[in-house]
Amino acid sequence: MTILSSTFNLLGVILLTHAAYSAYEHSLLSSSTSAANNAKPSTKASPSSTSLPPDIVVEALLSTAILLIGIVIGAPKLRPIEWAAWAGEAEQDTRRPRGKKRFEGDGGAEGTSMAWLEDRKGFWDVRGKKKAFADWVRENGSK
């Protein structure tokens, strides 16, 4: 599947780049044509100078669709969205994939892969910190 998806992606990028370049060239051509028309008096404004030709629009849409198909074909298998199925997979796989950061509570906790949740530090205790600061001020303020 990777060769097929890579082929679709490459073809889509090439066609999308060509459509963008064609639109750029069309805008340059229409601006130079309108500048030449403004030099000589004319009473008729051309509406075609503001819109893209249909072949450029079709090429852009087709290349976007081809690129989308290539991305979808190359996407990995979707994960289950049911909580029970996900939790069962998480419980079975206790190893973390390579490249993942260590969690805060990792340090040798044995058991399930969710042990880091039980070992992590709790929330910051504002009242406890306020009391500790007030005690510190009382101790250092009396000196």
For residues 66-75, average pLDDT: 95
Would you mind telling me the total number of residues written for the chain in this entry? 143
Q: Over the stretch 32-48, which tens digit does the pLDDT of each residue have? A: 776 666 666 555 555 55
Structure tokens at 31: 């601006």
Mean pLDDT check: name the lowest of 18-27, 30-39, 48-57, 126-135.
Answer: 30-39
Q: What is the pLDDT of residue 72?
A: 95
Q: Are 64 and 8 in contact (CB under 8 A)?
A: no
The verdict on residue 27 lying in a domain is yes
Residue 85 exposed, middle or buried by CB count within 10 Å (0-12, 13-18, 19+): exposed
> Would residue 97 count as lying in a domain?
no
Condensed to tens digits (0 to 9), the pLDDT of residues 85-115 reads 777 777 766 555 544 555 544 555 455 666 6
Domain assignment present for 85:
no
10 in the same domain as 67: yes
Residue 78 has pLDDT above 70, yes or no: yes
- Contact, 71 vs 1, CB < 8 A? no
Triad 37, 29, 36: Cα angle to 5°? 20
Name the pTM for this structure: 0.49
| 70 and 111 assigned to the same domain | no
Domain of residue 142: give its range.
103-143
Q: What percentage of the chain has pLDDT greater than the value 70?
A: 62
> Which of 56-70, 76-90, 94-108 ranks highest by mean pLDDT?
56-70
Same domain, 60 and 116: no
- Residue 95 has which token pair? 């190893």
Mean pLDDT in the chain? 78
One DSSP character per residue, 20-43 reads HHHHHHHHHHHHHHHHHHHHS--S
Instruction: Give the CA distances from residue 58 to residues 5, 17, 52, 129, in Å, rounded to whole numbers and listed in that order.
Output: 22, 13, 10, 64
Residue 87 lies in a domain: no
Residue 78 DSSP class: P
